């Protein structure tokens, strides 16, 4: 899988561009300002779907969902819809304000431009977009974020307001590092000692080594006791929030020292297993180097070691056996459940996840690596991914690497298999067909 497409659910459909549909979601064809004006005049919310300039598959995925009749009715009745690209200059101010990166993203806003709901990625699941739209309608009844921004700019610093403001921004994935530090300075001594306030601070994900982070971990034994009381799942979520917000800031600021400190924090969250702990450190650093275009070679070096150590050493047969045992266990739980409302969700298989990671890494090398030895290494990973499962996207990656390594005949064979797999599932395969056409002409 293309690493830039990690947020996509890999089902494809025909790309419709910015054309308004005769059926389906009615995307406006005018300018962004015209869309805003129309939403205001009709007293509707805005559904803004942004397409990535770097991931064509991600852009194609959502089209199938947009034809869901329930979604169509919901969106067309309550929203003015617009579809454009992340590099559209008309929405640059909006993207900067809400810290939107070049990923396929759906935004639900009010007519004044206040963000209500953000969804990064795309999916063929119309129900996902229905739930997002319903959430946006609910959020629109609350105090708008733009109004809270204005209150803060005018000097509002009440503790309850600051907590609500920070929570709202973090729910919408807008950084609040400085606000959290400011809140800690505002708190009276008795508030600082309450478990409720400590948990609030923790759940906002204080950046590693920030003022708030240092305050929070000042009493290690108390925090350990606090985490023991809330259980593993909630603690794990807090740790992941700290890691994600810290590495996000490191990437944005190009702060390698913060990235290393974040990786060390990640490593320390899993001290019971040394190999797993080291894997978390390596993975966190790879996240940083992957986004730093000046460190592509460093990322490639880390990725080679990481995949060989943590994925290539795994026996696909063992993983499939584990999946089968887990599947039987969950099916037994499902059949034993007496309440009809109770549902057991069977997660994606370990085999698929191993294959996806290897294929994703191989695709990155296909895009960015130039050395023969690196491409041959990626081909090994791609071949191993196929042992975990013959997914269309895994086969596509294998075919592209074969083509880049000069094995055109074999590449065409595997790209044809990938296309056949997509079509056999009743899914449009325009992206696969185009790549196959270029392979045959020698122009890929």
Report d(CA 208, CA 360) in Å as an integer: 28
Cross-strand pairs, 82 = 28, 48
Residues 286/303, Cβ–Cβ less than 8 Å: yes
- Each residue's pLDDT, cut to its tens digit, for the chain (444 residues) gives 343 443 343 333 333 333 333 357 899 999 999 999 999 999 999 999 999 877 666 667 777 788 888 999 999 999 999 999 988 999 999 999 999 988 889 999 999 999 999 999 888 888 999 999 999 999 999 999 999 999 999 999 999 999 999 999 999 999 999 999 999 999 887 655 688 899 999 999 999 999 999 988 888 888 889 999 999 899 999 999 999 999 999 999 999 999 999 999 999 988 788 888 899 999 999 999 998 888 888 999 999 999 999 899 999 999 999 988 888 888 877 776 554 444 444 446 889 999 999 999 999 999 999 999 999 999 999 999 999 999 999 999 999 999 999 999 999 999 999 999 988 887 768 889 999 999 999 999
Q: Could you give the C-alpha distances from 271 to 33, 81, 161, 283, in angstroms and in order?
A: 53, 48, 38, 15
Domain boundaries of the chain, sorted by first residue: 3-142, 143-230
Q: Which residue has the tokens 């020292």?
A: 257
pLDDT of residue 146: 95
Report d(CA 58, CA 102) in Å as an integer: 11
Instruction: Kindly provide the residue ranges of all beta strands, DSSP E only, lying in 186-289, ordered along the sequence.
Output: none
Contacts of 212 (CB under 8 A, 6+ apart): 177, 180, 181, 183, 184, 201, 206
pLDDT of residue 1: 39
Long-range contacts of 125-129 (CB under 8 A, 24+ apart): 125/9, 125/65, 126/64, 126/65, 126/66, 126/67, 126/68, 126/70, 126/71, 127/68, 128/65, 129/62, 129/65, 129/66, 129/68, 129/71, 129/75
Residues 47/81, Cβ–Cβ less than 8 Å: yes
Report d(CA 42, CA 250) in Å as an integer: 42
CATH of region 3-142, choose from 3.30.2310.20, 3.40.30.10, 3.30.70.1560, 3.40.50.1970: 3.40.30.10
Contacts of 155 (CB under 8 A, 6+ apart): none
Residue 161: CB atoms within 10 A of its CB come to 13
Give the residue ranges of DSSP H helices in 119-194. Answer: 126-139, 145-153, 159-171, 177-186, 189-192
Residue 264: CB atoms within 10 A of its CB come to 14
Contacts of 359 (CB under 8 A, 6+ apart): 1, 381, 382, 385, 391, 393, 394, 397
Specify the DSSP class assigned to residue 103: S
At 417, is the secondary structure helix, strand, or coil? helix
Contacts of 229 (CB under 8 A, 6+ apart): none
pLDDT of residue 428: 65
């Amino acid at each position: 899988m293309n690493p830039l497409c990690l947020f996509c659910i890999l089902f494809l459909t025909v790309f419709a561009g910015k054309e308004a549909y005769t059926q389906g979601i009615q995307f406006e064809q005018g300018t962004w300002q015209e869309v805003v004006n129309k939403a205001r005049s009709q007293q509707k919310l805005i559904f803004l779907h942004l397409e990535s300039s770097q991931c064509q598959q991600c852009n194609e995925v959502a089209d199938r969902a947009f034809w869901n009749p329930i979604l169509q009715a919901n969106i067309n009745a309550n929203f003015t819809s617009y579809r454009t690209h992340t590099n559209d200059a008309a929405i640059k101010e909006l993207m900067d304000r809400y810290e939107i990166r070049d990923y396929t993203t759906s935004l639900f806003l009010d007519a004044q431009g206040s963000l209500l709901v953000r969804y990064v990625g795309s999916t063929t699941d119309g129900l996902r977009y229905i739930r997002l739209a319903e959430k946006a309608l609910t959020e629109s009844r609350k105090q708008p974020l733009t109004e809270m921004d204005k209150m803060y700019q005018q000097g509002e610093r009440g503790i309850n307001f600051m907590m609500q403001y920070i929570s709202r921004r973090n729910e919408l994935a807008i950084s609040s590092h400085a606000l959290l530090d400011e809140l800690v300075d505002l708190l009276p001594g008795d508030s600082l000692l309450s478990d409720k306030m400590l948990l609030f601070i923790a759940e906002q994900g204080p950046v590693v080594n920030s003022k708030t982070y240092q305050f929070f971990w000042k009493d290690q034994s108390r925090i350990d006791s606090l985490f023991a009381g809330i259980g593993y799942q909630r603690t794990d979520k807090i740790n992941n929030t700290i890691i994600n917000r810290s590495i996000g800031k490191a990437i944005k600021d190009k702060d390698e020292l913060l990235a290393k400190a974040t990786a060390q924090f990640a490593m320390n969250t899993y001290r019971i297993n040394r190999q797993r702990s080291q894997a978390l450190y390596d993975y966190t650093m790879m996240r940083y180097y992957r986004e730093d275009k000046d460190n592509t070679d460093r990322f490639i070096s880390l990725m080679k070691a990481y995949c060989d150590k943590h994925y290539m050493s795994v026996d696909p047969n063992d993983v499939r056996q584990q999946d089968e045992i887990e599947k039987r266990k969950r099916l037994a739980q499902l059949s034993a459940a007496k309440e009809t409302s109770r549902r057991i969700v069977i997660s994606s298989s370990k085999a698929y996840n191993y294959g996806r990671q290897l294929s994703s890494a191989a695709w990155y090398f296909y895009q960015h690596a130039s050395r023969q030895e690196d491409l041959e290494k990626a081909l090994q990973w791609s071949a191993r991914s196929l042992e975990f499962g013959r997914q269309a996207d895994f086969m596509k990656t294998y075919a592209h690497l074969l083509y880049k390594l000069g094995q055109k005949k074999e590449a065409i064979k595997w790209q044809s298999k990938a296309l056949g797999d997509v079509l056999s599932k009743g899914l449009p395969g325009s992206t696969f067909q185009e790549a196959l056409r270029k392979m045959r002409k020698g122009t890929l």
